[in-house]
Amino acid sequence: MSSQVSAQSAIKTGARRSRRLGDLWVALAFLLPSAVGFVVFYLWPTIRGFYLSLTDYSLLGDAQFLGFDNFQRLFNDPLFWNSLRVTLLYVVINIGLQTVVALALAVLLHRLTQSVTIRGLVLLPYLVANVVVALVWFWMLDYQLGIVNQLIDWIGLGRIPFFGSETWAIPTIAMINVWRHMGYTALLIFAGLQMIPKYVYEASALDGASEWRTFWRVTLPLLRPIMALVLVLSVIGSFQIFDTIAVTTAGGPVDSTRVIYFYIFELAFERFDFGYAAAISVVLFLILGGVAMAQLKMLRAGDSDLS
Amino acid sequence: MSVLTRTQRPELSQDRAASPRPPINWGRVVAWTSLVVLLIVTLFPFYWMLRTSLSNNRSLASEAGSLLPADFTLGAFQRVLGMASTEEALAEGGSGANVNFWLYLRNSIIVATVVTVGQLFFCAMAAYAFARLRWPGRNKVFFLFLTALMVPPIFTTLPNFILIRDLGLLNTFAGIVLPTLFMTPFAVFFLRQFFLGLSREIEEAAMIDGAGHLRIFFRLTIPMASAPIATLAILTYINAWNDYMWPLLVGQEENVRVLTVALGVFRSQTPQGSPDWAGLMAATLIAALPIMILFAVLGRRVINSIGFSGIK
Amino acid sequence: MRKALRRSTGMIAIPVLLAACGGDDGGSGGDGDSAAGGTITYWLWDANQLPAYEACADAFHEANPDVRVNIEQFGWDDYWNKITTGFVGGTAPDVFTDHLSRYPQFAGQNQLLAIDEFVERDGLDLSIYHEGLADLWISQEGERYGLPKDWDTVAVFYNEELLDDAGLTPEDMADLDWNPDDGGSYEEVIARLTVDANGVRGDEPGFDPDNVEVYGLGLNGAGEGFGQTEWSMYAFSNGWTHTDENPWGSQFNYDDPAFVEMVDWWRGLIEKGYMPSFEQATAGVSMMESYGAGTYAMVTEGSWNTGAYMGLSDVQTGLAPTPVGPSGERTSMFNGLADSIWAGTDNPEGAWAWVSFLASAECQNIVAEHAVVFPAIQESTELAQTAFEESGVDVSSFTVHVEEGTTYLAPITDNWAEVTAIMGSTMDSIMSFSSDTDALTGANAEVNALFE
C-alpha cells in the first residue's frame, strides 16, 4: 500500500501542496456531474422533506411550522403502527419465500441443464413492469372469474378470496412479487453457484455423497456470502412495496395491506397532509438507514469470507 | 460451445460414479418435475395474457374456465392500437381509448436510452474518483453518497416534482430523465466495488508512461470493466423502461408519455365497474413486447451477464 | 405544450382574419367574445359518457370555431389523483367534471374559479334545472363553483331469467317493502332468489348458507361513509340522514340507532347466505362481472350504470325501484354532477364558454339522446327518458324518486377525504365481521372531531 502511494507521488511533480490534496482537482472534475445530481435530486429534497415533516403543509398553500407535533401524532396513530406491522409481515413473507424458491430454482438449473434458453425463460417476469404484473395476477386470482380459483374449484377445494380476505391479502401480494423476482434472484444465485469450483462437487460425488447431502454440506455453506448479498439487496426494495398494492387492494381490506409506503402516498396525495406524510417518511428513512447499515456490514463480512 | 462441453463434464462423471446405467434415478425425476412446475408457474401468466387479449371482453365472464380464448377476436388489439371506433370498442366492452403505440415506444426508447447512457457514464466517472483517485475527504463523501441509498424514493419524489415544476420542465423529456440522469447511489456503489477489484498494475504502468487520468479512465478502466458495465446497463435500461410513478407525475402529456404511463392511462380509461380485461391484456402485451424483443436479440449475453462478475 | 398549441392556432387565425378583411363580413368569429380562443382541456371519468360529450364538443366547436375542446377521460380511481397532482403541478384541466363530495375541499384550497360574475353577466336562467341542483354548488362562503350537468338516483337491477326461475314476476319486484327487523318482502325476494349448490332456495328448508351458488343480492363494498348505491336507500327510508343539516352539516349521525340497526340487518344478509361475504365481494374484479356471470340475482346500482348493465351479453336485466322503508316511502340518494373551472386556467373566458355550453339545453339534449345519464335540465331529462325507452329500457324506477320527491341529497361537507378514510375502514371491518356495529360510535366521534 505504502509503496503504491510513493510510486504515485513520484510520478507527480512532487509539490507539497499537491501531495496533501492528492488528485483533488481531477477528482472534482470526475465527480461534478454525479455530485450535481446528488445535491439537487437527493440531498436537497431530503433536507426539504425533513423540514416539511415539522410543518403542516397541504401542498397547495404555504407550509406552517409546527415543531414536533407530527411525530407526536404519529406515535398515537394506530394506522401508522398498523402500517409498520403490515410492512414487516410483507417483507418477511416476500423475502423468505423468494429466497427459498430462487435458491431451489438456481440449484435445479445448475444441476440439471446448461440451457441458456431455460435461464432466459426464467428471467421473463422480471422484464415486465410491476404495474403490469399486478394487473395480470389480479385478473388471474379473481374470486369468481380468475383461472386460479377455477383450478382450485376443479380440484374440489374451496375458492380463496385472495385479495378480499384480511389473512390472504398480504401473502398474495408477497407471492406476486416473488413471481416477478424469483427468476432474477435465481440467476444471481446461479452465478454464485458457478463460482464454486467444479472439483468440490466431483470430490463430493466420489465420496459417494448424495446430491441432497452435497447441497447441505457443500453448496450452501459456500454460497453463504452470495446469499447474504442477495438478501440485503432485496430487503430494501421489499420495504418499498407500493405499485402492486396501488393497483390491486389499495390498502384494503380493512387496512390489512395499508403498508407504510402506501399510507404515505395516501396521506400526501389524497388527503393533502404532506407534512404528516413527510414525518412518516422520516421514520421509514431511519428504518431503511438501519437496514442499509446492516447491509454494508454484511457486505464487508462477505468480502472477508471470499478472500 | 467449449464452455458448454467443459461444464457438462462434472455431471457426466458424476452419473458414471453413481452407477453405469441406473434404471430410473428418482431424484432426477423429482428435480426435473420441480423445474418444469416452476417453469409453468413462470410462463403461465404470459399465456393467460395472450389468451385474455384474444378474447371478447363481453364473453370473458361466461367462459372464465376455458383455457382457449373466449369468443376469439382481434378486437382488443384493434381498439388498443386505435383501429376501432369508439362505438365498436364499447360494444366489445372497451372504451374509446387507445394507445398511440409508436409514439410511446419512441418516448420510452428515448427516456430509457438517455437515462442508461448518462447514468452509467457519470456514475463510472464518480466511481473512478472514489476508487482510484486519492483526495482528502474521499471516504466521507462516499459515505454521504451511500446514505442516499436509504432515502425512500417517495420522500424525494414530491420535492423533486415541485423543483421540476419550478424549472418549467413538466412534460418535457428533461424533466423525466433529470433525477436519474446523473447518478443513482446503487450504480456508483456497484461500479466502485468493481473498480476496486481491478488490477492497478496496468494503470500504474500507463501512468509511468505519462498517461493522465482521463486517458486511463477511457482507455483502460472502462474497457476492462465492460462486462459489469454491460450488466448494469441492462438492469438500468429495464428499470428505466418499467418506471411508472415518476413519469406519471411529470410526463402526462402525449408527446412525452412513455409506454408504462400510457398503459396506466389506458387502464384508468376502461369502463367503470367492469374493466376491459381483453384490451388491458392486449395493451400489456404490447407494452412489454419491445423489451422482450430486445431481450430475445441480446439473449445469451444478457443472461450470462447477470451475476457477480462485477461484485466481488 | 398548451402554449405551443395556442401559438399555432394563432398562426392559423391570421389567414382567416385576412380573408375576412378582404371579403364581405361573413367572418366566422362574429358572435361570442373573441377573447375566448384557444384550446380547452376537459376531463371526465365515465367512459360510457365519452361519446355523448364528444358530440357536445363538436357542436361547441361548430358554434365557436376558434375554441377547440380536448376531452380526456380517466377512470374514477385515477381521476381524483390526477386532478390533485394537476393542481399541485399546475397542469390540471381547464374544465372538469366535479363531484359534490369533492368540491368543498377544492374550493377551500382556492383551486376552483367562482363563476358568479359570469352567470350574472350572461344572465343565465338557473331555473331550467331540476329543483335544488344548481344551488348545491354554492359554497359555504356563498360562491358558485359549477353549473349542473346531470343527476342520478339508485334502483334495483335484477336478472330476469333468475327471477323467472324463482317463480317471481316483475310485478312482484315493483312493490317491495323493507324494514330493519325482518327485511320485509324485500328480504323475502332476496331469499327466494338465493340458490345453494344443491338447488335449494334461500327460503326453503335445508338451505346451506355456506355453499351458495347464486346470491340473491350482490355486494359492491361497504360503502365507506357515503353508501350511495350500497346502503343509502335503506338508511334514508329508515328516517336517517348523514348529517344534522345538508349542505354544510357539521355533525354526522353514524352512531344513530336508525343507522346502526340498518347496518346490522344489511350485514345479517351475509350470515344468512343471501349476500356474498365481504371477502368474496372485494376479492373479485367487480360486482358487475359477477352479476354478468349469473352469480348475483340482483344488485343495487346507480342510474349512470344502466347502459353498462343493459349491454351485458348473457344477462337480461330488469329494473325495480328501491323498497319502501319504515318511513313509508322509497328513497334514493340524489346526486348531481357539475362542471367546474380550475382557478389556474389560462383561458377563463374559453373555459366559461365551454361550461355554459355544457350546461345549456343544446348540449344536454345531445347527452339525453345518447341515453346514458339524466341531464340536469328538466326538459332534457324527458328527452333522455324517451331515448331510454326507445332502446327498450324503462327508467321509471329512477325517475319515480324525482316525481315523488323522495330524493335525499348527497352529503356536502368539509373534510370529506378524512371522513372517507375513517368511515372506509370502519365500514370495511364491520362488513367483514372484524368488528361489531358498536364500532360506529367511536368512528362517529372521530368524524365529528374533525369539525371542532
Domains and CATH numbers, chain A: 70-306 (1.10.3720.10)
Chain B interface mutation, best of A42, A210, A263, A271, highest count of B Cβ atoms under 10 Å:
A42
Distance from CA of A168 to the nearest CA of C (A): 10
Asked if residue C247 has a cis previous peptide bond (ω within 30° of 0), the answer is yes
Residue B271 CA, distance from chain mean position: 30
Chain A interface mutation, best of B12, B25, B151, highest count of A Cβ atoms under 10 Å:
B151
Chains that touch C (3 or more CB pairs under 8 A): A, B
Q: Give which of B207, B70, B188 is closest to B123, Cα–Cα.
A: B188
Is pLDDT of A287 > 80? yes
Distance from CA of C89 to the nearest CA of B (A): 6
Distance from CA of C116 to the nearest CA of B (A): 31
Percent of chain A residues topping a pLDDT of 90: 23
Span C303-313, average pLDDT = 85
Residue C88 with chain B: CB contacts under 8 Å = 161-162, 165
Task: Give the residue from chain A lying closest to B291, CA to CA.
Answer: A127
Cβ separation of C282 and A164 shorter than 8 Å? yes
Tell me, what's the pLDDT at A15? 44
Spatial separation of the C-alpha atoms in residues A274 and C191, rounded to whole Å? 48
Q: Mean pLDDT across chain C, nearest whole number?
A: 87
Residue B112 with chain A: CB contacts under 8 Å = none
Spatial separation of the C-alpha atoms in residues C302 and C312, rounded to whole Å? 16
Instruction: Give A76-93 pLDDT, tens digit per residue.
Output: 888 899 999 999 999 999
End-to-end CA distance of chain C: 44
Q: Give which of C423, C345, C266, C264 is closest to C43, Cα–Cα.
A: C345
Tell me, what's the pLDDT at B7? 35
Q: Which residues of C350-450 form beta strands (DSSP E)?
A: 374-375, 407-409
Cell reading at C445: 366521534
Is pLDDT of C394 > 80? yes
Spatial separation of the C-alpha atoms in residues B79 and A106, rounded to whole Å? 41
Q: Out of B300-304, C161-165, C408-412, which region has the weakest mean confidence (pLDDT)?
A: B300-304
Q: H or E element: which one contains A194? A: helix A169-195
Residue B52 with chain A: CB contacts under 8 Å = 139
Distance from CA of C108 to the nearest CA of A (A): 10
Tell me, what's the pLDDT at B10? 40
Question: Which residues face A284 on adjacent strands?
Answer: none
Span C295-317, average pLDDT = 89
Task: Give the residue from chain A lying closest to B146, CA to CA.
Answer: A292
Cβ separation of B170 and C293 shorter than 8 Å? no
How large is the ipTM? 0.81
Name the residue with higher pLDDT: C311 or C325: C325
Spatial separation of the C-alpha atoms in residues B22 and C104, rounded to whole Å? 79
Highest mean pLDDT of the ranges B64-78, B214-228, C15-29, C422-436: C422-436
Distance from CA of A152 to the nearest CA of C (A): 15
Span C81-108, average pLDDT = 88
Cβ separation of C74 and B265 shorter than 8 Å? yes
Tell me, what's the pLDDT at C396? 93
User: What are the extents of the domains in chain C?
Assistant: 2-150+336-390, 154-334+394-449
Q: Give which of C84, C152, C147 is closest to C119, Cα–Cα.
A: C147
Distance from CA of C431 to the nearest CA of A (A): 10
Cβ separation of A27 and B133 shorter than 8 Å? yes
Name the residue with higher pLDDT: C284 or C399: C399
Is B146 in the A-facing interface, judged by CB distances under 8 Å?
yes
Distance from CA of B83 to the nearest CA of A (A): 23
Cβ separation of B307 and A187 shorter than 8 Å? yes
Tell me, what's the pLDDT at C20? 32
- The answer to whether the CB of C39 falls within 8 A of the CB of C12 is no
Is B171 in the C-facing interface, judged by CB distances under 8 Å?
yes
Tell me, what's the pLDDT at A199? 83
Asked if residue A253 has a cis previous peptide bond (ω within 30° of 0), the answer is yes
Residue C290 CA, distance from chain mean position: 21
Span A162-172, average pLDDT = 89
Is B174 in the C-facing interface, judged by CB distances under 8 Å?
no
Cβ separation of C282 and A252 shorter than 8 Å? yes
Is B260 in the C-facing interface, judged by CB distances under 8 Å?
no
Task: Give the residue from chain B lying closest to C89, CA to CA.
Answer: B165
- The answer to whether the CB of C411 falls within 8 A of the CB of C243 is yes
Tell me, what's the pLDDT at B302? 65
Task: Give the residue from chain B lying closest to C78, CA to CA.
Answer: B268
Spatial separation of the C-alpha atoms in residues C206 and C194, rounded to whole Å? 13
- The answer to whether the CB of C61 falls within 8 A of the CB of C36 is no
Task: Give the residue from chain A lying closest to C84, CA to CA.
Answer: A269
Instruction: Give C338-350 pLDDT, tens digit per residue.
Output: 999 999 999 999 9
Task: Give the residue from chain A lying closest to C435, CA to CA.
Answer: A254
Spatial separation of the C-alpha atoms in residues B145 and A35, rounded to whole Å? 9
Cβ separation of C311 and B90 shorter than 8 Å? yes
Is B25 in the A-facing interface, judged by CB distances under 8 Å?
no
Give pLDDT tens digits along chain B (312 positions). Answer: 222 333 333 444 444 444 455 567 777 888 889 999 999 999 999 999 999 889 887 777 777 777 788 778 887 888 777 776 666 776 676 666 666 778 888 999 999 999 999 999 999 999 999 998 888 989 899 988 888 877 878 788 878 888 888 888 888 999 999 999 999 888 898 888 888 878 888 888 888 888 888 888 888 888 888 877 887 888 888 889 988 888 988 887 888 989 888 887 777 776 655 677 888 888 888 888 888 887 777 766 666 666 554 343
Is pLDDT of A128 > 50? yes
Instruction: Give A34-64 pLDDT, tens digit per residue.
Output: 999 999 999 999 998 899 899 988 777 778 8
**What is the CATH superfamily name and number for domain C154-334+394-449?**
Periplasmic binding protein-like II (3.40.190.10)
Is A44 in the C-facing interface, judged by CB distances under 8 Å?
no
Distance from CA of A161 to the nearest CA of C (A): 5
Q: H or E element: which one contains C408? A: strand C407-409
Span C424-445, average pLDDT = 93
Tell me, what's the pLDDT at B226? 81
Cβ separation of A42 and B300 shorter than 8 Å? no
Q: Give which of B200, B231, B215, B197 is closest to B304, Cα–Cα.
A: B231
Name the residue with higher pLDDT: A89 or A120: A89
In three-state secondary structure terms, C67 is: strand
CA-to-CA dists, residue C91 to C35, C84, C243, angstroms: 22, 10, 35
Residue A24 with chain B: CB contacts under 8 Å = 135-136
Cβ separation of A108 and B34 shorter than 8 Å? yes
Residue C179 CA, distance from chain mean position: 26
Spatial separation of the C-alpha atoms in residues A146 and B51, rounded to whole Å? 13
Is pLDDT of C119 > 80? yes
Distance from CA of B170 to the nearest CA of A (A): 15
Residue A58 with chain C: CB contacts under 8 Å = 109
Is B90 in the C-facing interface, judged by CB distances under 8 Å?
yes
Span C27-49, average pLDDT = 66
Tell me, what's the pLDDT at C268? 95
Chains that touch A (3 or more CB pairs under 8 A): B, C
Distance from CA of C393 to the nearest CA of B (A): 17
Count Cα neighbours of C133 within 13 Å in the Cβ-side half-sphere.
Answer: 26
Is pLDDT of A12 > 90? no
What is C2-150+336-390's CATH number? Answer: 3.40.190.10
Cβ separation of C77 and B268 shorter than 8 Å? yes
CATH number of the domain at B101-269, out of 3.30.70.3000, 2.170.130.10, 1.10.3720.10, 3.90.1720.10? 1.10.3720.10
Spatial separation of the C-alpha atoms in residues B276 and B260, rounded to whole Å? 17
Is pLDDT of A114 > 90? no
CA-to-CA dists, residue A23 to B131, B192, B221, C90, C422, angstroms: 12, 17, 17, 46, 59
Q: H or E element: which one contains B142? A: helix B138-147
Indicate the residue of B35, B154, B306 with minimum beta-carbon distance to A281.
Answer: B154
Task: Give the residue from chain C lying closest to A162, CA to CA.
Answer: C283
Q: H or E element: which one contains B140? A: helix B138-147
Is pLDDT of C163 > 60? yes
Distance from CA of C27 to the nearest CA of B (A): 33
Indicate the residue of B138, B156, B242 with minimum beta-carbon distance to A49.
Answer: B156
Is B13 in the C-facing interface, judged by CB distances under 8 Å?
no
Is A274 in the C-facing interface, judged by CB distances under 8 Å?
no
Percent of chain C residues topping a pLDDT of 90: 63
Span C206-213, average pLDDT = 92
CA-to-CA dists, residue C61 to A94, B14, C40, C44, C54, angstroms: 54, 80, 11, 18, 10
Instruction: Give A219-249 pLDDT, tens digit per residue.
Output: 888 887 777 777 777 888 888 888 888 878 8
Chain C interface mutation, best of A76, A144, A172, highest count of C Cβ atoms under 10 Å:
A144
Tell me, what's the pLDDT at B87? 66
Question: Which residues face C112 on adjacent strands?
Answer: C342
Indicate the residue of A23, A264, A285 with minimum beta-carbon distance to B133.
Answer: A23
Cell reading at B206: 500507463
